[in-house]
C-alpha cells in the first residue's frame, strides 16, 4: 500500500508543474486551495492525464462542500471513497450505524456529475452510482455552479 500524501499547496503546485501550469498564487485557505485543485484536476482530464491522488482528494472535497451548501441537512450521506464523505439534504437524519440514504461513487464519476459532464440519470443507468434510500437522488442539486 502506498503512503497517503495529504492535500497541500505543495501537492497542488507539483501537479500544476507536471501539467505545465503556473503555481497556485491564491490564499492558503481550504476553500480556495480546493477550488484550485478542481481546476487542476479538470486541466489534467483535458490532457488525458490522471491527477495525483492528493489533488484529486482536494477537488472531491471542494465539490462535496459545495453540495452540502446547496443541500444543507443530514438525511443523505454522499461517499466518494477513499477521498471524502458528506451529509446533506434536509430531512430526517441518522445518529448511528449505516444511514438509510446513501449515495456512493468513485471520484471521476462525482466530478463528472458535479460539473455537468454527465447527468444523474445517465450515470445511474450506467451503474456508476450506488444509491439507496428514498432521498438518495441528488439530481435536483447537480450540476453544482462553480463560482
In a domain, 80, yes or no: yes
What range does the domain containing 107 cover? 9-133
Evaluate if residue 4 carries a pLDDT over 60: no
Is residue 147 situated within a structural domain?
no
Tell me if 144 is assigned to some domain: no
Domain for residue 140, yes or no?
A: no
What is the DSSP secondary structure assignment for residue 84, as one 8-state letter? Answer: E
Question: Which tens digit of pLDDT belongs to each residue from 105-145?
Answer: 999 999 999 999 999 999 999 999 999 999 999 999 999 99
Q: Is 143 part of any domain?
A: no
| Total domains in the fold of the chain | 1
**What integer pLDDT is reported at residue 99 of this predicted model?**
74
Domain of 113, CATH number, reads: 3.30.1050.40
d(CA 76, CA 59): 20
Single pTM value for the model: 0.93
Q: Please indicate, yes or no, if residue 141 is contained in any of the structural domains.
A: no
Nine-digit cell string for 124: 445511474
List, in sequence order, the alpha helices (H) in 9-142: 9-18, 30-46, 53-70, 107-114, 120-125
Amino acid at each position: 500500500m502506498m503512503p497517503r500524501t495529504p492535500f497541500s499547496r505543495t501537492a497542488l503546485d507539483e501537479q500544476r508543474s507536471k501539467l505545465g501550469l503556473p503555481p497556485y498564487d491564491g490564499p492558503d485557505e481550504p476553500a480556495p486551495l480546493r477550488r484550485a485543485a478542481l481546476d487542476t484536476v479538470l486541466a489534467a482530464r483535458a490532457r488525458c492525464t490522471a491527477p495525483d491522488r492528493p489533488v484529486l482528494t482536494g477537488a472531491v472535497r471542494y465539490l462535496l462542500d459545495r453540495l452540502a451548501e446547496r443541500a444543507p441537512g443530514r438525511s443523505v450521506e454522499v461517499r466518494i471513497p477513499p477521498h471524502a464523505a458528506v451529509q446533506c439534504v434536509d430531512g430526517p437524519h441518522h445518529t448511528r450505524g449505516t444511514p438509510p440514504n446513501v449515495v456512493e461513487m468513485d471520484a471521476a464519476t462525482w466530478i463528472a456529475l458535479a460539473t455537468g459532464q454527465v447527468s444523474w440519470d445517465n450515470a445511474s443507468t450506467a451503474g456508476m452510482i450506488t444509491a439507496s434510500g428514498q432521498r438518495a437522488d441528488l439530481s435536483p442539486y447537480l450540476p453544482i455552479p462553480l463560482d
